[in-house]
A and B are shown apart, each in its own frame.
Chain A
Amino acid sequence: MSLPTLDFSLILPELVVLITALLVLIADLLWPRAASRGREQAPAVLALAGLILAGLLTLLAGEWSGATLQGMLVADALARYLNLVVLLAAALGLLLSWSYLPHFSTQRSEYYALYLLAVAGMLFLGKSIELITLFVSLEILSIALYVLTGFHRGQLAGGEAALKYFLLGAFSSGFLLYGAALFYAATGATRLADIAAQNAGGFYMLAGLALFLVGLGFKLAVAPFHMWAPDAYQGAPTPVTAFMSVGTKAAALVALFRVVQAAGSVPVGVWATALAFLSLLTMTLGNLAALRQSSLKRMLAYSSIAHAGYLLVGVVAGTAAGFDAVLFYLFAYAFMNIGAFAIASLLERPGFYAVQDAGIHAADGLFGRRPWLAVAMAMFMLSLAGIPPLAGFFGKLYLFAAAVESGWAWLAVAGVLNSVISAYYYLRVVVGMFMAEPSASAHLRLPLPASATLAVALTALGTLLFGLLATPWFQGISR
Chain B
Amino acid sequence: MLNYSWLILLFPAAGAVINAFWGRRLGRRGVAVVANLAVLAALIMALIMAAGVRSLPAAAHGRYELTLWQWIGVGDLQVDLALLIDPLSVVMALVVTGVGFIIHLYAATYMKLDDEHHPLDARRYARFFVYLNFFILMMLTLVLANNFLQLYVGWEGVGLASYLLIGFWFHKPSAAEAGKKAFIVNRIGDFGLALAIMWLFFLFGKSAGSLGFHDLFAQLETLSAQNSPALVGITLLLLLAATGKSAQIPLFVWLPDAMEGPSPVSALIHAATMVTAGVYMIARTHPLYEMTPASMTAVAWIGGLTALLAASIALVQTDLKRILAYSTISQLGYMFLGVGVGAYAAGIFHLTTHAFYKALLFLAAGSVMHALHGELNIDRMGGLRAKLPRTYAQFLIGAAALAGLPLLAGFWSKDEILYITYQKNMPLYIIGLFTAFLTAFYSFRAVFRAFHGAPRDHHLHDHAAEQPAGMTRPLWVLAAGALFAGLIGIPAAVGGLFGVEHSHLLEAWLHPVFANVQTPHLPAWWELGLLGASSLIALAGLGLAYARYVRQAGWALRLQRLFSPVQPLLEHKYWIDEIYMAAIVTPLRRLARFFYTFGDQTVIEGAVNGLGRVTAGAGVAVARLQSGVVGLYALSLLLGAVGLLGFFLLFG
Contact = CB atoms under 8 A, between A and B. Distances in A.
Same assembly: yes
Contact of A266 (B628, B639, B643, B652): B652
A206 B649 contact: yes
Contacts, number: 116
A289 B612 contact: yes
Interface of chain B, main secondary structure:
helix
The 7 closest A-B CB pairs, nearest first, are: A224-B640, A292-B612, A227-B633, A206-B652, A471-B73, A210-B648, A471-B70
Contacts of A469: 69
Contacts of A163: 630
B72 interface: yes
A153 B525 CA distance: 96
A401 B75 contact: yes
A32 interface: no
Interface of A: 163-164, 167-168, 171-172, 175, 203, 206-207, 209-211, 213-214, 217-218, 223-225, 227-228, 230-231, 266-267, 269-271, 273-274, 278, 285, 288-289, 291-293, 371-372, 389, 394, 397-398, 401, 405, 468-472, 474-475
Interface in B231-279: none
Nearest to B622: A285
A398 B73 CA distance: 9
Given A168-B630, A224-B639, A274 B647 contact: yes
B74 A270 contact: no
A372 B645 contact: no
A172 B652 CA distance: 23
A246 B630 CA distance: 24
B648 A266 contact: yes
A209 B648 CA distance: 8
6 contacts: A164-B630, A167-B630, A213-B644, A288-B611, A291-B608, A291-B612
B71 A270 contact: no
A389 B652 contact: no
Contacts of A394: 72
Given A175-B641, A285-B611, A401-B74, A371 B21 contact: yes
Contacts of B649: 203, 206-207, 210
A270 B647 contact: yes
A472 B72 CA distance: 9
B639 to A, nearest CB: 6
Given A214-B644, A266-B652, A271-B648, A389 B71 contact: yes
B651 interface: yes
A231 B627 CA distance: 10
A471 B79 CA distance: 10
A225 B608 CA distance: 19
A423 to B, nearest CB: 14
Given A214-B641, A288-B608, A474 B647 contact: no
Nearest to A171: B634
A168 B637 contact: yes
Contacts of B625: 224, 227
Interface residues of B, number: 36
A210 B645 contact: yes
A198 B648 CA distance: 20
Contact of B71 (A168, A172, A203, A471): A471
Contacts of A209: 648
B633 A289 contact: no
Contact of A210 (B69, B613, B628, B644): B644
A291 B608 CA distance: 7
A252 B70 CA distance: 32
Interface in B395-418: none
A474 B69 CA distance: 14
Given A292-B608, A468-B69, A207 B637 contact: no
Given A168-B633, A210-B644, A266-B652, A372 B21 contact: yes
Interface string B1-39: 000000000000000000011000000000000000000
Contacts of B651: 267, 269-270, 273
A207 B498 CA distance: 94
B636 interface: yes
A472 B70 contact: yes
B626 A289 contact: yes
B533 interface: no
B460 interface: no
A278 B647 CA distance: 12
B636 A227 contact: yes
Interface string B587-613: 000000000000000001001110111
Nearest to A472: B70
Interface in B49-103: 69-75
Contacts of B644: 210-211, 213-214, 274, 278
A384 to B, nearest CB: 19
A394 B70 CA distance: 12
A274 B646 CA distance: 11
